[in-house]
């Protein structure tokens, strides 16, 4: 079983470039208005659907939970070497957990966190942007509509 996430994008090539770097793999299928990534770890069918316009971020955020701080730092270093700005949040309390994490933002404003949950807490204290809406647009420079496999 794989989770499926399909997002709308305004520039397919720019989004393919971003997600190829974030996922550390190329898409398995690319069409004029569509791209599909199939990831084994985590099990994810992730598609990009070209639209004329995308209005705002329709999702709070996406993320990858990893097993330890070392993996958070390895992923952060990998993406920074590829030219991404990573917004770091270490030892923050958010969404009922204490976490170490960093964030990257795709070309359409969708935020992705890589995080390690160090422990549960009883309150939803917000020291982090995961529980708020503060999108940070990162410029990554590299055409209209459709859906599906």
Residue with tokens 């809406």: 133
Phi, psi of 130 (to 5 degrees): -65, -30
> What pLDDT score does 130 carry?
56
Instruction: Please give the average per-residue pLDDT across 39-45, as a whole number.
Output: 92
**In which band, very low, low, confident or very high, does the pLDDT at 3 lie, cut at 50, 70 and 90?**
confident
User: Domains in the chain and their CATH numbers?
Assistant: 1-52 (3.10.180.10), 62-131 (3.10.180.10)
- State whether residue 68 is helix, strand or coil: coil
Lowest mean pLDDT among 60-64, 103-107, 139-143: 139-143
> What pLDDT score does 129 carry?
57
The whole-angstrom separation of Cα 71 and Cα 19 is 19
> What pLDDT score does 61 carry?
80
Catalogue the E-assigned strands of 3-148: 3-9, 29-31, 34-39, 44-50, 62-65, 87-94, 97-105, 111-120
> Can you give the pTM of this predicted structure?
0.70
Residues 65-83 have pLDDT tens digits of: 899 999 999 999 999 999 9
The whole-angstrom separation of Cα 15 and Cα 50 is 10
């Amino acid at each position: 079983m794989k989770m499926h996430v399909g997002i709308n994008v305004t520039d397919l090539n720019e989004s393919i470039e971003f997600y190829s770097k974030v996922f550390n793999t190329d898409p398995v299928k690319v069409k004029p208005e569509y791209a599909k990534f199939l990831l084994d770890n985590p099990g994810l069918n992730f598609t990009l659907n070209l639209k004329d316009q995308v209005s705002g971020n329709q999702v709070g955020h996406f993320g990858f939970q990893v097993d330890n701080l070392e993996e958070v730092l390895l992923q952060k270093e990998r993406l920074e070497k590829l030219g991404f700005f990573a917004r770091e949040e270490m030892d923050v309390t958010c969404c009922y957990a204490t976490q170490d994490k960093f964030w990257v933002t795709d070309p359409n404003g969708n935020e992705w966190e890589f995080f390690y949950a160090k422990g549960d807490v009883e309150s939803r204290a917000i020291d982090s942007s995961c529980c708020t809406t503060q999108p940070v647009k990162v410029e990554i420079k590299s055409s209209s509509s459709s859906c599906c496999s």
